[in-house]
A and B are shown apart, each in its own frame.
Chain A
Amino acid sequence: METVANPPAATGRQDLPGDFAIWIFIFAELLVFGIFFLAYAFARAGNVELFNEYQQYLDRETGAINTLLLITSSFFVVRAVNAIKRNAVASCVRWLGFAVLSGAVFAGLKLTEFAARHADGITLSTNTFYMFYLSLTFFHFMHVLMGMVILTAVAVKAHRGDYSAANHTGVETGASYWHMVDLVWIVLFPLVYVMH
């Protein structure tokens, strides 16, 4: 993908990995999450006791396991990208499959977490802390589902032989989105579940 006039360096590349269109989307998503995080932080500043009190009731175990799952699935995606760069199509598909599977476990655990909150009668309108907790985690949850759809589509296309070492932009596009979902959770978990 390098231009002829710009000889590729031994390491490094000129452009962002994947299709630039996905990066516009990623930037927009990061902006939304960023504003949402700051809204949380500043709303908390005006209501510290409330936030500190209800933060205790969150399920940190599930949160931590979910963090590990997302980190691990991100790692799997890295392996998938590395694999396709070596033309190892089957390996690429397998790693993508593991990544989607980890994402599915994340989503399943998240659903049990939501179900537990729901059983306690907690909704978006219970209080400002729960409003943020549910909004942020649900919004992120939807991104995980979206990322799983994207990775599955990439895996199917890879399986069909649409990608190779010479042409793997599509894999990088999906990978970039998935890492964004991971990155956002890396901020979300400590912020909402732990920090006080």
Chain B
Amino acid sequence: MQGADRKAAFVWLILVLLTLATYAVGRLGYGGVTVVVMLLASISLKGQLIIDYFMGLAQVRSRWKWVVTGWLASVVALIGMAYWISI
């Protein structure tokens, strides 16, 4: 495996582990503020990994890349807000 491939495989592994963690949370039926915050953090991390290393925007200099990162950040933040007001 070349360097770029190895990096992608590493990112893939992290994504798989985070997904399994998410599934475990769902399987155990956990809920509540802490879990929501953790899940949102996990979404942010996974999303940003995909953006940076799968889409490959980490090495892009164009300002357009901030649209995608900004999208992820605002969606996660506003979902968090919607859950916050429902407590």
In the bound complex, do residue A23 and residue B64 qualify as a contact, i.e. CB atoms below 8 Å apart? yes
Cα distance A79–B8 in the bound complex, in angstroms: 8
Given contacts A60-B27, A64-B23, A176-B55, contact A42 B67 (CB under 8 A): no
Category for how many chain A residues contact B: 35 or more
| Interface residues of A, dominant DSSP | helix
| Residues in B whose Cβ lies below 8 Å from that of A15 | 60, 62
B60 x A194 contact (CB < 8 A): no
A189 — which chain B residues lie within 8 A by C-beta?
19, 22
- Residues from chain B with Cβ under 8 Å of A60 in the complex: 23, 26-27
| B36, B56, B78 — most chain A CB neighbours (10 Å) | B56
Which residues of A are at the interface with B, using a C-beta cutoff of 8 A? 11-17, 23, 26-27, 30-31, 34, 37-38, 41-42, 44-46, 48, 52, 56, 60-61, 63-64, 67-68, 71-72, 74-75, 77-79, 81-82, 85-86, 175-176, 179-180, 182-183, 186-187, 189-191, 193-196
- Contact between B19 and A68 (Cβ–Cβ < 8 Å)? yes
A41-B83, A194-B25 given; name 20 further pairs at CB < 8 Å.
Answer: A16-B57, A16-B62, A30-B68, A37-B75, A38-B78, A45-B82, A64-B20, A64-B22, A64-B26, A67-B22, A75-B54, A78-B5, A78-B56, A79-B8, A81-B56, A85-B4, A183-B50, A183-B72, A194-B22, A194-B26
